[in-house]
Amino acid sequence: MQVVKDLIGGNKPEAILIHYNGDLDLDSVTRRYAGSFVKLMDIDNVDNGWFFTFGGLATALENTVGILAEDQTTSGNYLPNDADYGMATKLMYPIFPSTVIRAEYGRTDAAGTANTDTGATATAGSTTFTAAATGTADYTIGGWIYMVTGSAAGELHYVTDDDGSGAVTVATAFTNAVGATDTFLFIWPSSTNHCRWNATYTGFISEIDSSACVKNIQGLMHYISAPGVALEPLDRNKHDGLVIKNAKFFHDFTFCGATDAASTLVSLAWTRGQAAA
């Protein structure tokens, strides 16, 4: 992920220097990636001192403060109470309610794990795309389906209906059939609050089932880019029904918190405080 700008100040926040260890209870030997969320540990979990750490640790995204600006490698990382060495420092972009963040619906996460979706079918000439599940009816309207592999690879379709059982209606018919082993990306509607974070917390997993998502964000706009196509907003009138090879998809959003607004979890630490365990 990357910070794009600030809605109040215009320019994105400057990176700041922090003491960082990518695990809570040991000198970290796990790689953490630039673009991943950074959090504070719980305020009463001070067995090893206070420091900044990887945002995906339990409770994930609680006490979030920013986005890591550089990788943490697998060595040279120490807790505050290490017997011999001082802590490593890393640069981090702080994020606030006004910070606009851009995440990619990547085919893989930063560690190379596949992030595409599968298990859906469609008949050539049909406007029905049948997924294994889609969660609550109509949540996917305004989203997009992009086929990554299979006979329909490269096809891009705009969603106009969703009955909640997995049957999704698209605006233009599939030119080629979609098989259950074919992979695809689902891009959520521009103003969605649904997303599913990948394992490295550097972007989104493709997830068409709203019940498998969290409501961490306020979406602003979704984008497409491809070889020969500069980054531009997805537009039904321009992009629906096209076949675009090697397309990439992104979503701009502001970060709201650990779950929905009704949650008791404290999440964005700058504005909501620091949670206890």
Cα–Cα distances (Å) from 274 to 43, 255, 271, 277, in that order, read 6, 16, 9, 10
Is the separation of the CB atoms in 97 and 65 below 8 Å? Answer: no
pLDDT value for 46: 86
Who has greater pLDDT, 260 or 240? 240
What per-residue confidence (pLDDT) applies to 277? 59
Q: Is 90 exceeded by the pLDDT of residue 104?
A: yes
**Number of C-beta neighbours around residue 182 at 10 A:** 22
d(CA 125, CA 122): 9
pLDDT above 80 (res 67)? yes
Range with the poorest average pLDDT among 8-12, 43-47, 49-53, 145-149? 43-47
Domain positions in the chain are: 1-97+256-277, 98-255
- Residue 3 tokens read as 């910070």
pLDDT of residue 276: 65
Whether the Cβ atoms of residue 183 and residue 150 lie closer than 8 Å to each other: yes
Say whether pLDDT at 261 is over 70. no
| 37: enclosing H helix or E strand | strand 37-40
* pLDDT, position 257: 67
Q: Quick one: pLDDT band at residue 61, thresholds 50, 70, 90?
A: confident
Quick count: other Cβ atoms within 10 Å of Cβ 240? 17
Check whether 145 has a pLDDT greater than 90. Answer: yes
64: left (phi over 0), alpha (psi -120 to 50) or beta: beta
Position with higher pLDDT, 107 vs 12:
107
The reply to whether the predicted model has a pTM over 0.85 is: yes
Is the per-residue pLDDT at 266 higher than 70? Answer: no
Select from 28, 6, 138 the least CA-distant residue to 75.
Answer: 28
Say what the pLDDT of residue 134 is: 95
Q: Bridge-partner residues for 17, per DSSP? A: 91
Q: Would the pLDDT of 227 be above 90? A: yes
Dihedral sign, CA of 130, 132, 138, 139?
negative
Q: What is the rounded average pLDDT for all residues in the chain?
A: 93
How confident is the model over 99-113, as a mean pLDDT? 98
d(CA 61, CA 54): 9
Question: Could you read off the pLDDT of 160-205 as tens digits, one per residue?
Answer: 999 999 999 999 999 999 999 999 999 999 999 999 999 999 999 9
Summarize pLDDT for 195-220 with one digit per residue, the tens. Answer: 999 999 999 999 999 999 988 899 99
